[in-house]
Amino acid sequence: MSTPNTHEGPARILSHLETCAATHASVFFIGVGGIMMSSLALLTARAGHPVFGSDRTRTALTDTLTQEGVTVLYRHTAENIPENCGLVVYTVAISEDNPEYTEAQKRGIPCISRADYLGALMTGYTRRVGVAGMHGKSTCTSMCAQILLDAEVDPTILSGATYAPMGGAYRLGHSKEHFLFEACEYMDSFLDFNPTVSILLGAELEHVDYFKDMEQIIESFARYASLTGRDGVTVVNLDDPHIMESAKRALTRGKTGGLITFSAEGNPAADFTATHIHTRNGLPCFELIRRGESLGQVTMAVPGRHQVINALAAAAAMDACDIPAPAILSGLAHYVGAGRRMEYKGEINGGRVYDDYGHHPTEIKATLEGAKALCAQGSRLICIFQPHTYSRTAALYGDFLTAFDAADKMAFIDIYAAREDNIYGVSSAGLATDINAATPDRALYCPTPEDAAEAIRKTTRPGDVVVVMGAGDVIKVTQILFG
């Protein structure tokens, strides 16, 4: 079972850090090897605090921390907590019987969840842009990042995915003006953040092990939008009725200063829209419109019509931060794609292989439709997919059966259990069987990433596009193929 978020708030957390500084006490991070945790550890170290952390596996992220003076321990044990430890930061992915967490509790050391800690650190910046939504968070965050980089405003950025122009998943700027971050909704983690500009991309049923229905989701997003306060703004997707309900609740309660709307469907009531949307060489092109005025043409370097939604959200948010239009247009055109978001990995038998994080039916459908546009006439779209969690697979099973309609062939790896036991009776073999019942011989069952990699080698032909998708250890497939 995951460990709950704390909700101590910036004042208490910053007070803990002041005490650490005064007593030269260290800050310890449980699960320091995660993308967001490693960036927080580095921010803390660069602020002058002695930093320690633990994780199970050595990675490039932990190597970077070590090079920056952070002590990383590759095990979880009570002895890891330093004698002079003033604060422990943990990821909610740990269980409450984690030996370091229980040791800290026993010794009376304050324990703060990752989201709560991040929410405190960001208050030191003037403009705080938080990207929320069930889908597209990392992509939109990376688009905003590219715009800020092109604007040369020296931002600090914390994303949930790597982005090559930043050299990783985060960038630590020296300016205290712009702080850009990805706001994860799982377990309501984003309610501990303090955005001045909140982006709401879209909402639907997801994380069914936590969110029980759409009303709970709508209310959570309403509460997130409310965090901007009356001096902030909320950027909302006018095409999504659930998101609009969340935004209206925040506005009615007087908790946000106003709404900035965007529409990829051409709704004339939106502040930001895209017109003349078309595809050139498999890539989306459109004219960016701000309140009836054309800002210019955008030709993106990443496939998929759904990218227009993320681009409009990024443009609206950056405009709210007074980033000039030329930098917005430039940033959207220069955006090269976040890590594991249709990330090109190489060729097999003359077919191109891409890696993608998509694991919800809506994400899968949008990504594969975009990938289909990359296929030459007569070539095939092949998808290798690993479902993520039994609860999601069971709750959205019918949607999974149609999510792969754009693919000509597909293979399913065994479900990645994450934190769950299979009490639902679902399986990847069952998915393959049910899809084949409608269209014979479209789907294979490949129990392991090794089996899937071998299937790619055997079936891929020149011109094919292969998309390897999922949020579990499906990443092993491209590692096997390309090292």
User: How close are the terminal C-alpha atoms of the chain, in Å?
Assistant: 34
Rounded CA-CA distance 262/283 in Å is 21
Rounded CA-CA distance 125/179 in Å is 6
The DSSP secondary-structure symbol of 167 reads: T
- CATH for 343-482, options being 1.20.1260.120, 3.40.50.150, 3.90.78.10, 3.90.190.20: 3.90.190.20
Single-letter amino acid, residue 128: R
Q: What is the mean pLDDT of residues 15-27?
A: 98
Is the pLDDT at 71 greater than 80? The verdict is yes
Single-letter amino acid, residue 250: A
Q: What would the pLDDT profile of 336-373 be if each residue is shown by its tens digit?
A: 999 999 999 999 999 999 999 999 999 999 999 999 99
Residues above pLDDT 70, as percent of the chain: 100
Q: What is the mean pLDDT of residues 250-270?
A: 94
Q: What would the pLDDT profile of 311-339 be if each residue is shown by its tens digit?
A: 999 999 999 999 999 999 999 999 999 99
**10-116 has CATH 1.10.10.60 classification:** no
What's domain 125-334's superfamily in CATH?
Mur-like, catalytic domain (3.40.1190.10)
Q: What is the mean pLDDT of residues 2-25?
A: 95
Residue 140's nearest CA partner among 316, 294, 275 is 316
Is the pLDDT at 203 greater than 70? The verdict is yes
- Stretch(es) of the chain classified as CATH 3.40.50.720: 10-116
Q: 0.85 exceeded by the pTM? A: yes
Q: In the sheet that 259-263 helps form, which strands lie side by side, from edge to edge? A: 168-171, 156-163, 178-182, 127-132, 197-200, 233-237, 259-263, 272-280, 283-290, 293-299
Question: What rounded mean pLDDT belongs to the chain?
Answer: 96
Q: What is the mean pLDDT of residues 392-417?
A: 97
Q: How confident is the model at residue 115 (pLDDT cuts 50, 70, 90)?
A: very high
Contact yes or no for 50/21 (Cβ under 8 A):
no
Q: State the pLDDT at residue 91.
A: 92
Q: State the pLDDT at residue 341.
A: 94
- Stretch(es) of the chain classified as CATH 3.40.1190.10: 125-334
Q: What is the mean pLDDT of residues 15-33?
A: 97
Per DSSP, the three-state class of 111 is: strand
Rounded CA-CA distance 163/424 in Å is 36
Is the pLDDT at 470 greater than 70? The verdict is yes
Is the pLDDT at 1 greater than 80? The verdict is no
Residues contacting 101, CB < 8 A, separation 6+: 3, 30, 88, 90, 94, 111
Per DSSP, the three-state class of 60 is: helix
What are the φ and ψ backbone dihedral angles of 244, each rounded to 5 degrees? -65, -35
- Stretch(es) of the chain classified as CATH 3.90.190.20: 343-482
Q: What is the mean pLDDT of residues 160-174?
A: 92
Q: State the pLDDT at residue 256.
A: 86
Q: What would the pLDDT profile of 73-94 be if each residue is shown by its tens digit?
A: 999 999 999 999 999 999 988 9
Q: State the pLDDT at residue 186.
A: 87
Q: How confident is the model at residue 428 (pLDDT cuts 50, 70, 90)?
A: very high
